[in-house]
Structure 1
Amino acid sequence: MANRLQLCFIAILITTAHLNPAAQGVTGRIKVTVSASTGDVAAPSTPLSGARLTLVNRALPSQSIKAVTDDIGNFAFTDLPATTYLLTVESPGFPNVMREISLTPGATLTIEVMLTSTISESVTVREEEGLLSTAETTTSNIVRMQALKNLPLRAENYQSALQLTPGVVRDRNGLDHIKGTRAGQSAYTINGADITDPLTGNLAFDIPLEAVASVQIEENPYSAESGRLTGGATILETRGGGDNFKFTAARFFPTFRNVISGPVDSFRPRLTFSGPLVHDRLYFLQSFEYRFSRLRVPSLEASRDDSTSEAFNSFTQFDLTVNNKNRIKFVAAFFPQKARFVGLNTFNPQETTPNTKQRGNLFSVSEQAIFNDASFLASVVSYKTFDVDVFAQGPEPLELLPERNRGNYFADTRRRSRRFQWQETYYARPFALGGQHSLKLGAEFSRTNVSGRFPYQPILIRRGDNTLAQRVDFDGDGTASRSINEFGAFVQERWVVNKKLTIDGGLRFDRDGIVRRSNLAPRLAFLYLPFKNERTIIRGGIGLFYDRTPLLVGIFGRENEGEDELLLSSSRRFTHLPERIVTTFAPDGFSVSDGPRRFRNDVEEPLSNPRSVRWSLQLDRGITKNLTARLGYLERTTTNDFIIEPREGASDTGRLVLSSRGRSRYRELQLLAAYTKLPIGSWNASYVWSSARGDLNTVDDFLGDFPSVVVRRNEYAPLPFDAPHRFLVYGELKTRYDITVSPSLEIRSGFPFSFVNEQLDFIGARNKAGRFPTFISLDAQVIKGFAIPKFVPKLEGRRVRIGVAVFNITNHFNPRDVQSNLGSSRAGQFFNSLSTSVRGKFEFDF
């Protein structure tokens, strides 16, 4: 009976999708700020409370949305379909203002209206950017493409936007941790489509920078639309073509190690074409990027001290306006990459590291359908593939020694993943009932498959005198296959109670196909203005979050499993991951003191989804018209996290037990100052105190593409990416002659580390042996724009931007490696710091 009901439900969804073609999963927002002026240029303007706003969709002139500004002159029209609108602003004693606004998919526009009774009004339309989140119950950081180009960012990609967000820390491996969570515990989407790696949950997607419209990092995603996460949400919006043909070329000059000589350390040329195929109907954008980068390890021999990576990214987008009520977007992205000597560091020379090959594709079709009552349906259908091959430099076993490892990497894996995703979101027409209400509800279905081979070679742990301390062998062919269906649904309402109070509330349902559990997650957030005509905002929220179970959990146990009884969250598994056989030797290196002990892969049932309770409170205060200060506090507690623990048994037996017993806790105090004054530029300064503690034997450390070489005891301690203090300031100074100066300064605590003995057993409490030195990096970029002179044939008047970026200007010692083995004479010493580097910049717009 249950299966028949679910089949009927799927049929209804398919019928609905047929009647309303697939959707644009991301809506736009129009935020209006109204102020009044006496007409005196020297006098400051005053926020205008109670101004009447009317927003009319040009496609539906008989339907309008009416609102009034709050006590500080703001109002946000949220969840709007992409189309052309007419905005009318009215207030007693002032002339009416009308302005036509074109809203593109996913855009957030800020409309600044200054009314005066003596001269004509001033209306400024700009895309919202930065950390302030005007008129929203939750805060986010919106970083646009031009800021990513202007700021001094080493990687110069859209992922760098995360580094500009308070509460986000990038670890020594280049992974980003949002609000004290692991990299795989946050959500990443592009135009509404999931772009995470199904096996690990990490971000697995790349596109050229010119294809990016904006990156929005939601640090507190209280909306019920955000699901299957315990961290934050990163939302990538792409650009489309416009009415004019454009050609852009960037980074066509390589970066050399010695500025103008030596090996090439970076070469990242990008080409982008865009324009109309059918005027006012069909537009395209095509962007290509080749990316080569070389990373040095100064503490290794000069001839064998670098690792390299190469990538080619292609992004294609077509935007079709079917009519004034229907728009369709098609996206195709390809992002293959190969890397040599992955994980190269002071103690792992080139021969001990693996090479990798990645192949990724994404195809998505999205559409928005506007109905006659001004409600609309947004839909997204996407298909993503992501394949990873990891292979060693040779067949020799990996040997771990106190000073420096030798041999070849022990894992040689091949895996393939496929994900089909279908989302439908309905946005009801706003209505008035004790205030203004906006309601949306949606559903999502995904089908994911992962398969691969994970064979491992022996690992030899040797003492400083070269005697054998322990040997780890692996038994099993390493084949694994897992397919799951997942289903989610949500309902979310925004209630503007009055000019002082706005409440967002929602409820989310998720069915997990691996642990076979159904989860309900309520969320609530609010915005309150305590004083009239004062720039003081209080925000707060509380919510329950359930994380998605990564597929690496689903392939751990040695088991054959059939279909779950629930069709929408079914699961099929066939796994034979290698089991560890550990032999421990006496000090002579020959006599066996323990083992061979076989550790069977075991799952402690029942498993549960990681469960997180988060609450936050923020106070924003406008010091001046251009300067805003923020004080915020956040606390998050996570239980049921996935951990792996070794348990020894009798008669040379043991188990590696996967369970949901893990827990973590994160606390954060945030101080922020944001200054914006056009056209000078914008500046942000933040200080974050935080504490990230939790169980250390998390599943991502022992499974996946780069599993841990040994499995030791679990412990609750500071997490590896715990950084109690972080200060960050960055900004853009726009000067005369089209010169932009963009400095950045980051100062943060060093990460914790543990000491081990020659057998790689932990000595003392984990992650409490000490910390890396304080990280300090002062970077700056200067860009000059100019027009090509008239004497250059066919190119006269075209724009060119030339600049230079300098990283770690003070050449501060920022080590990435520490000798943690007490069997080494260099125990406790730090190595491998990146010195000052210089990079040129050249961009051409045609």
Structure 2
Amino acid sequence: MLKNPVRVTLGGLLLFVLPATGTPLAQPPSGRVTGTVSGPGGNPLQGVLLTMTTESGALFVEVTGFMGEFTFRDIPAGLCQFVAVLPGYEDHSIEKIRVMAGEEARFEVSLQIARISESVVIEGVGRDSVANEPEDIFTLTPEQLDALPLPSDRFQESFPLVPGVVRDPEGRLSFNGARPSQSTLLVNGANVTDPVTGEFAVELPLKAIKTVEVNNLPYSAEYGRVTGAVAKIETRGGTDEWEWDYGNLWPSFNFRGGTIQGIRSFVPQIQISGPIKKGKAWFSQGLAYRFVRSRVYDVAAGEDERVLESYDSFTQLDFRFAEKHHLTTTFSYFPLEVDNLGLNALTAANATPDFNSKGWNLAVSQRSFFSRTFVETIVAVKTFDVAVGPKGDAPSRLTPEGLRGNYFNELDRDSLRFEVASSCTHAPPDLFGGHIVKIGGNVSYTSFTGTDMGRPVEILGSGGGVIQRVEYLGDPTVFGKDVQVSAYVQDRWRLTDRVGFDIGLRYDYDRLVSEHQLAPRLSTAFAVDRKGRTVIKAGWGIFYDRVLLYADRFDRFQRRVERNYGADGLPEGSPLVFAPRVADEGLELPRSTTWNIELSQVLAKDFQLRVNYRERRGSKEMIVDRVENGASGAMLLSSRGKSLSRELDITLRVKREKNELFLSYARARTTGDLNDFAALYQDLRTPLFLANESSLFRHDVPHRALFWGIWHVKGDITVSPGVEWRSGFPYSVLSEGYLPLGERNRGGRFPNFLSVDLRVMKGLTVKGRKIRVGFQIFNLASHYNPRDVVSNLASPRFGEFLNSVDMGFSFRFSLGS
């Protein structure tokens, strides 16, 4: 854990600033290769496998993006061989491409329809995508991540740039209308979610990332334990040339009352990579330090800051034992400390907990390549430890103005995941078209131990008297374990040059619920015209989610005791005791049925329009019902939950050489049972335990528009605007005793949200060093975007919106090879 913020802050300054002022590593003579890949009619082809092989035998691999674009970074100067391969098309090879140091080579590639080649070996490639694949995949490259205005250079901040991804009122990510715990995050193919809560639980230096990918429609049968979306991160490995990059070396200062009051944020990063033995072994090391003070408005000065401090380390070692056998080992370590977690205009600083987490991931991946077969095995271990603690021993007081006095829960939890996954991808001889068949399986063991102890909560009326007192009784010790087994088969079948199918079947077993399930998946793409400018895509699939580990021993959790008080301050009747209990019918694997239909249209060479409708129906979701029966009650855990999300999005993307624009509009609706098990037992909790209802989700956003772009102008200047407009989130109206008045999340909505952000960077070369300087501005329009609302009817400030963020400004400074 990070126990001394001052010491760590100074350590971060010394670690990142002093090396930047010393003698730099020798600048490698490297260049860049960019371009696009299209089909016979000029339609862009996504998912084309590309390799660049240097004279020394070093191999670089890329995959084309949404508009058929690709970028090879830091290619050693000299002659290279270029190969492009896509099932159903002729392989395209360029024997000699000359890469010049410090320059960019750009060319266009056109692939012709053909049978699957049996002779080309693609080394180091594990992707098996096909053009025009039905899956809704969105990819961000390192150049985009570096250019776009991300507030604190965290990869999670890039996800809301994708249609269908929003941050809920608590700042958690919702994909495709699903709850935050229903999506999964993979780093180099390994699951890095929290083994207990299912939420994303990893931090990586931004400069260690090669690509960020969001798949809102993960129809491929290889994806399991998910009913939302799949987010994937691929990391950067080393090459035969030394490379180094220092990022964001300039701190942002905290201006108040016209004076500087310390540092507001400092998020330096460093990335170093190079050969251990040229042509045989390479390493890559990324480090990031993060210190961020987030101000909460409409709160008394001195108690209005949340402070976050973290240190992220990522190491990757790549070994080439033989021409066709590669091994990759990665290790990441990411301690985090947050003071005043959950601080807002309604929760006082003394009523917020302090949060500490510490985790590490270790993964070993072995890959073997043959002329028609690719085999991969991954062994991964993850630990993630969490501690959430109140600031004292006093009861927590919930008043009409908000939470005061103290936080009400103490959590200390250690968790573990061990998994082994293996897959084999094979291209058999053609049979009614070309096929790529993938079979695989996964075995995962998860466990946790710790304490989860509730503390007293007093609900106070407008006059200051106690209306209700809540206490927790019983042993706070918690533990659980689970074993999960999966297997799948997937066939990517290109029937003709205009019709393709993805057909898959997945098997899942979960020991915790002793349940076996089969999940069929089917998706298709059809090119209306021979040039492939108009493509219709559709898909349907059944998905089964993970069972949260907290369910393993839920009946041993602490009991909740509620005692009501009258106006005279005396207890009324007997206390109501809610015992944790699992429904008599037991638990089942959460399930969703998802389908979509999409029209993709190339309007012109650089313009592509996409119209997509998707629907997701969740069932057997785990919820906790409030059951009352006289003086006894139950917190009843069952698999009776349901949810429904629908979304129509229209996206226009323009890609012209280095410049790109992205514009989208989404119309969505998300409803379901509100007493979600994962939400009630997340790390930061609510003191209320209300009756379950089916209503709007807190992250329901009927209308949302996104715009972002990257423009390169003369003088090596990059201008990157970002604009988001959306409907406000819904909220509930509550009585003096914090009971809902009317349907939950139907009391009204926050005002419409508008954020206009901008990042401008200028490239320079000084004494052989590449330097980038610039600035970024957030909420450029100074739009009023409140984050809190007084929703208790007994408050004199009822209906008042609070805590909007002011316009923010910061400088940027980076050094690179």
Task: Give the TM-score, by structure 2 length.
Answer: 0.86
Aligned with 1:454: secondary structure? strand
Q: Secondary structure at the match of 2:146?
A: helix
2:799 equivalent in structure 1: 828
Aligned-partner Cα distance in 2 for 1:398–1:635 = 41
Identify the residue that residue 21 of structure 2 maps to in structure 1: none
C-alpha distance in structure 1 between counterparts of 2:188 and 2:392, whole Å: 42
**Alpha-carbon shift at residue 135 of structure 1 (Å):** 2.6
Question: Which of 624, 627, 634 does residue 607 from structure 2 map onto?
Answer: 627
Of 755, 767, 785, the residue aligned with 1:814 is: 785
Partner residue, 1:690: 668
8 Å CA contact 1:87, 1:99 repeated in 2: no
Residue by residue over 1:288-334, the C-alpha shift from the partner in whole angstroms, topping out at 9 and shown as x without a partner, is: 11101111111101111111010000111101111111000010100
Q: Structure 1 counterpart of 2:285, which letter?
A: Q
Q: CA offset at residue 146 of structure 1?
A: 1.8
Q: Over the residues paired in the alignment, what is the CA RMSD in angstroms?
A: 3.0
**Within-5 A mapping of 1:216-235:** 216-235=213-232
Give the SS at the match of 1:147. helix
CA distance in 1, matches of 2:456, 2:67: 67
Once the 2 structures are TM-superposed, how far is the Cα of residue 552 of structure 1 from its aligned partner? 2.0
**2 CA distance for matches of 1:96 and 1:85?**
8
Aligned residue number for residue 742 of structure 1:
720
Map of 1:331 onto structure 2: 330
Give the 3 Å change call, closer, same or farther, for CA 358–74 of structure 1 in structure 2. closer
CA contact 1:399–1:460 (8 Å) conserved in 2: yes
Provide the secondary structure at the position in 1 that maps to 2:393: coil
Judged with a 3 Å threshold, the aligned counterparts in structure 2 of structure 1 residues 331 and 595 are, in CA distance, closer, same or farther, namely same
User: 1:111 deviation in Å?
Assistant: 8.5
1:617 equivalent to 2:597? Answer yes
Q: Are 1:176 and 2:173 counterparts? A: yes
User: What are the Cα deviations for residues 154-202 of structure 1, in whole angstroms up to 9, with x where unaligned?
Assistant: 1322112211100111112221100110111001100010000011100
Rounded to whole Å, the distance in 2 between the matches of 1:54 and 1:673 is 25
CA distance in 1, matches of 2:505, 2:243: 44
Q: Distance in 2 between matches of 1:96 and 1:448?
A: 45
Aligned-residue offset at 1:534: 5.0
Structure-1 separation of matches of 2:709 and 2:51: 36
State whether structure 2 residue 675 is matched by structure 1 residue 675.
no
Q: Are residue 583 (structure 1) and residue 569 (structure 2) matched?
A: no
Q: Provide the C-alpha distance between the structure 2 equivalents of 1:298 and 1:49, rounded to a whole number of angstroms.
A: 47
Note the residue ranges of structure 2 that are not aligned, 5 or more in a row.
1-33, 54-65, 71-79, 99-105, 113-124
- Offset of 1:513 from its aligned partner? 2.1
State the Cα distance separating 1:56 from its structure 2 match: 11
Q: Do 2:37 and 2:111's aligned partners in 1 also have CA atoms closer than 8 Å?
A: no
Deviation at 1:256, TM superposition (A): 1.2
Find out whether 1:798 has 2:776 as its counterpart: no
Residue identity matched to 2:676: T
Per-residue deviation at 1:618? 0.4
Q: Which deviates more from structure 2 when the two are superposed, residues 151-160 or residues 484-493?
A: 151-160
Please state whether the residue corresponding to 1:162 is helix, strand or coil.
Answer: helix
User: Which residue of 1 is the match for residue 410 of structure 2?
Assistant: 412
Code of the residue aligned with 2:458 in structure 1: it is L
Distance 1:613 1:360 in 2: 33
Gaps of 5+ in 1: 1-29, 37-45, 59-71, 77-82, 103-109, 117-127, 559-576, 789-795
Residue 109 of structure 2 corresponds to residue 113 of structure 1: yes
1:100 and 1:327 mapped to 2: Cα distance? Answer: 25
5 Å-filtered alignment, 1:647-686, equals: 647-650=627-630, 652-679=631-658, 681-686=659-664
- The answer to whether the 8 Å contact 1:74/1:135 transfers is no
Deviations 1:800-829 (A, max 9, x none): 000100000011010110001111011111
Q: Is the Cα contact below 8 Å between 1:517 and 1:608 reproduced in 2?
A: yes
Per the alignment, in what secondary structure is the counterpart of residue 670 of structure 1?
strand
> Partner of 2:140: helix, strand, or coil?
strand
In the alignment, does 2:680 pair up with 1:702? Answer: yes
Residue 164 of structure 2 corresponds to which residue in structure 1?
Answer: 167
Change (3 A) 1:831 1:88: closer
Secondary structure of the 2:528 match is coil
Q: From the superposition, tell whether residues 97 and 275 of structure 1 become closer, same or farther in structure 2 (CA, over 3 Å).
A: closer
- Is the 1:54–1:88 contact (alpha carbons within 8 Å) kept by the matching residues of 2? yes
Counterpart of 1:155 in 2: which secondary structure?
coil
Q: CA deviation at 1:204?
A: 0.1
Structural mapping, 1:118-267, within 5 Å: 134-258=131-255, 261-267=260-266
- CA offsets, 1:741-796, max 9 Å, x none? 000110000000001111111111111110000000001110000100xxxxxxx1
CA distance in 1 between partners of 2:161 and 2:351 (Å): 34
Letter in 1 for 2:572: S
Following superposition, the deviation at residue 675 of structure 1 comes to: 0.3
Q: Structure 2 CA distance, aligned partners of 1:54 and 1:752?
A: 44
Distance in 2 separating the partners of 1:385 and 1:704: 18
Do the aligned residues in 2 keep the contact of 1:364 with 1:381 (CA within 8 Å)?
yes
Per-residue deviation, residues 393-433 of structure 1 (Å, max 9, x unmatched): 11101011112432211111110001101000011134201
Structure 2 counterpart of 1:257, which letter?
N
Deviations 1:211-250 (A, max 9, x none): 0000100010000011011100000000011121122111
State the secondary structure of the residue aligned to 1:146: helix
Q: In structure 2, give the amino acid aligned to 1:655.
A: A
Output the CA distance in 2 between the equivalents of 1:56 and 1:416. 42
Matches within 5 A, 1:562-577: 577=557
2:586 counterpart residue number: 606
Give yes or no for contact 2:600–2:610 (8 Å, CA) kept in 1. Answer: yes
The alpha carbon displacement at 1:648 in A equals 1.0
1:383 aligns with 2:361: no
Residues 88/539 of structure 1: CA separation in 2 closer, same or farther (3 Å cut): closer
What is the distance in 1 between the residues matched to 2:81 and 2:477? 54
Distance 1:336 1:114, change over 3 A: same
Q: Distance in 2 between matches of 1:376 and 1:745?
A: 42
Structure 1 stretch 738-747 or stretch 362-371: which is displaced more?
362-371
Q: Which of 517, 520, 523 is the aligned partner of 1:522?
A: 520
Instruction: Describe the shift of the 1:84–1:158 C-alpha distance in structure 2 as closer, same or farther (beyond 3 A).
Output: farther
Cα distance per residue 1:505-563 (max 9 Å; x no partner)? 100011012222111100001110011225101111000011111112223122xxxxx
Q: C-alpha separation between the residues in 1 aligned to 2:475 and 2:787?
A: 35
Q: Is the 8 A contact 2:479 2:550 kept in 1?
A: no
- 2:554 is paired with a residue of what secondary structure? coil
Task: Please give the alpha-carbon distance, in whole angstroms, between the structure 1 residues aligned to 2:347 and 2:762.
Answer: 42
Aligned 8 A contact 2:351 2:405 in 1 = yes
Shift of 1:692: 0.2
Letter in 2 for 1:162: F
Measured in 1, the distance between the counterparts of 2:108 and 2:525 equals 20
Tell me the distance in 1 between the aligned counterparts of 2:702 and 2:686: 26
* CA–CA separation in structure 2 for the residues paired with 1:422 and 1:180: 30
Aligned to 1:839: 810
Which amino acid is 1:156 matched to?
D
Give the structure 1 partner of residue 621 of structure 2. Answer: 641
